[in-house]
Structure 1
Amino acid sequence: MILYRVLFVCTGNTCRSAMAEALFRHRLEQEGIKGIEIRSAGVAAIPGGSASEGAIKALAKRNIPGDTHVSKPLDENLVRSSDLILTMTGSHKKAVVHLFPFAMDRTFTLKEFVDDDPTADIYDPYGGDDTIYEACARELEEVLSRLLQKLREHADN
C-alpha cells in the first residue's frame, strides 16, 4: 500500500532527478521502508530518454541500476498524484508552481525542504566528466539521508 508519493524534478530527467529517484528508492529498499513511492520527471524532458552515461556510471558504483531509467516530462497527473514535489533548483520550483499553481504548498527545492535553505541548488552535472557526476551523486546521497530523517520525523508526529 502506497502511503506517500515523492516526485523529484529537474530539467531533462536524465541526471539529477533520475539519480535522486534511484538513490532514494535504493535507500528505502535497504532499510526495508515500504509505502513510499518515488518517481521523477523533468520540466523539459523528452519522453522515453535514458539516464545520462555519467548518471548510470555513478549509480553503478553504488550497485544501483540506472540503465533502466526512462525520462518523463512533468505533467499534471504526476503533480496531482504526488504528496511532495522536490526540485533540484529554485528555477525548477518556479516552473512547477507556474505550470501547476495548485501544487505550490507541496513543492520545494530539495535543499529547502531538508535544510530550510531555499537558495541552495543541486549542481547540474550534465556534460561534465565522471568526477562531476560522482560529486553530484554524493551530494544527493547526503541530502537524501536528511530527507529520509525528515520523513521519519513527519511520520512520527
Structure 2
Amino acid sequence: MHLLFVCTGNTCRSPMAEVIARRLFAARNVPDVTIGSAGTSAWPGSPASDGALLVALEHGITLGEHRARQLSPELVASADLILTMGPHHLERAEALGGTGRSYLLTGYVAGNGHPVSDPFGGDLAVYRATYEELEREIAAIVEKVAEQRPS
C-alpha cells in the first residue's frame, strides 16, 4: 500500500504527516506500507520549514532530508490512499485522477472532517499544535489500515 499526504507547499504539514505515519506504522508493525508527500503548489526541492524541522526534532524525528515535490498525475496514480490537509488539496488530488482514493485526513476515519491548520509563518506553538493534531489523526488512520490489512 502506498499512502500519500498532500498539503500546499510540501514543507510543513504533509512532511510532518509523512514522518509521523512512518513512525506509527512501524511501531504498529504494519507491513508493506510506503509513505510519501507532495504539495499542490510546491517549489520542488525546497526543504521542510524551520518550524516543521524543529518540532519534528522535538519528537525524535528528522526532516533534514525532506525535499518538496509538486503533486502530479504520476504521484496520484502511484498512491493507493491520498490524505489531504484541506478541501482544496482534496479537489486537486481528485482532479489529477485520485477520485475514490482521496480523503480529507481528518475525515478518513470519522467521516466529514475539517482542514488541518497550516502552521506556515507561525511560531513554534502553532507548529506544535499542528504536529499534535496530525499525530492524533494519523494514529487513528494507522489503526484503521492495520485492521483492514491481512496479518
TM over 0.5: yes
Identity fraction in percent = 36
Q: Check if 1:154 corresponds to 2:151.
A: no
Alignment correspondent of 2:87: 90
Quick one: distance in 1 between partners of 2:150 and 2:141? 14
**Amino acid aligned to 1:59:** A
Structure 2 unpaired stretches of 5+: none
Aligned residue runs from structure 1 range 1-157, under 5 A = 4-98=1-95, 100=96, 102-118=97-113, 120-156=114-150
Q: Can you list the C-alpha shifts for 1:106-140, whole angstroms capped at 9, x where unaligned?
A: 0111011122124x111100000000000000000
Query: Given residue 138 of structure 1, which amino acid in structure 2 is its aligned partner?
Result: E
User: How far does residue 31 in structure 1 lie from its aligned partner after superposition?
Assistant: 3.2
Tell me the distance in 2 between the aligned counterparts of 1:30 and 1:64. 14
- Name the SS of the counterpart of 2:108 in structure 1: helix
The letter for the 1-side match of 2:121 is G
Structure 1 segments of 4+ aligned residues over 3 angstroms from their partners: none
Where structure 1 has 5 or more consecutive residues not aligned to the other structure, the ranges are: none
Q: Cα RMSD over matched residues?
A: 1.4
* Length, aligned pairs only: 151
Partner of 1:136: helix, strand, or coil?
Answer: helix
The offset of 1:73, in angstroms, is 0.5
Specify the code of the residue in structure 2 equivalent to 1:35.
Answer: D
Q: TM-score, normalised by structure 1?
A: 0.92
TM-score (ref. length: structure 2):
0.95
